[in-house]
Amino acid sequence: MGAVAKRKVGRPKEGLDTLHDDWAAQVQAKYQEGASDAEIQCLLGAMRGTHFSKDLWYRWLDEEPEFSDTIKAGRALARGWWEETARKQAQEGKGNATTLIFMMKNRWGEDYQDVRKVEGAVTHNHTGALPSFDSRITELLKRGQEIDVTPSGED
């Protein structure tokens, strides 16, 4: 008895051929306006005449180099739009700073954090006793030296 060929089950995978020929240009144009990935998914869904699932989005990012490159370049364009908008609003004193901060932190939080967590080890190689700050001031006063108590960076 010969080997039986295994039948493929399910729908065939959808490729970029399900999009309009100018899909990349349309995607780039939306990203240049600051669009989010969700807006791009809606645009692509409209082109296909159906919902554009997150599963398909992530599969194409992994398996379709042209799609992945277009999205990466588009995300950079969108970020540039938001940063330019924030800069202009700061210069002009117009706009809604809270909205801008919210968008920037949520879309690129790793770069727009109020607090950064830094981990590591600190070693100390000093041996012997350290004079206390108070005793150093007392010593300077005994010598008649002037003590500058201005915080650094201020005159």
Q: Residue 113 domain-assigned?
A: no
Is residue 151 in a domain? Answer: no
Confirm whether 65 is domain-assigned: yes
Q: How many Cβ atoms sit within 10 Å of the Cβ of residue 67? A: 21
Euclidean distance between CA atoms 11 and 151, whole angstroms? 70
pTM, two decimals, is 0.65
Domain count of the fold of the chain: 1
Give the CATH number, domain containing residue 95. 1.10.10
Q: Which residue segment(s) compose the domain that 35 sits in? A: 16-107
Residue 148 lies in a domain: no
Residue 134 covered by a domain: no
Angle at 60 between CA 26 and CA 27, to 5 degrees: 10
The tens-digit pLDDT sequence of the chain (155 residues) is 566 667 677 777 888 888 999 999 999 999 999 999 999 999 999 999 888 999 999 999 999 999 999 999 999 999 999 999 988 988 898 888 888 888 888 888 888 777 767 777 766 666 665 556 666 667 777 776 666 655 555 54
Tell me, yes or no, whether 121 lies in a domain. Answer: no
